[in-house]
Amino acid sequence: MPDMVELIKSAAMGAVNDSKPMSVLFGKVVSTSPVKIFVEQKLTLNEAQLIFTNNVRDYDLEMTVEHFTEESNSHVHPYKGKKKFRVHNGLAAGDEVIMLQMQGGQKFVVLDKVVNT
């Protein structure tokens, strides 16, 4: 009978582990072209395994502005309308990041950089 109990216990634990929706991991960027993130001794993630948020990548953003330029030699003019700006949030070697490991363990969402103050 103990073998049956252990078998049921093992199956139950496997079901619980398989149903974990996500887990949190920390990593360190070791290269950016291509992106590689070192997580632990035997796990370095490559770009194909990673999903990036805007917190960790460069991207363009369209904004509406309405103000005047700084005065220079008595010259000033309005500056308004929709303008495109580049946000520089890209990863750099040495950055520490926080990630979510998705269910199944094959994909990782890189959420943000870790800032140590």
pTM flag (> 0.75): no
Structural domain boundaries in the chain? 23-113
Q: For each successive 10 residues of the chain (117 residues), what is the average pLDDT?
A: 70 69 91 95 93 95 87 79 94 96 88 90
pLDDT value at residue 56: 97
Phi, psi of 16 (to 5 degrees): -65, -45
Q: Quickly list DSSP for 13-72.
A: HHHHHHT--EEEEEEEEEEETTEEEEEETTEEEEGGGEEE-GGGS-EEEEEEEEEEPPPB
Q: What pLDDT does 98 receive?
A: 96
Residue 16: predicted pLDDT: 67
Check if the beta carbon of residue 106 is closer than 8 Å to that of residue 47. Answer: no
What is the rounded radius of gyration, in angstroms, for the C-alpha atoms of the chain? 23
- At 87 the pLDDT is 96
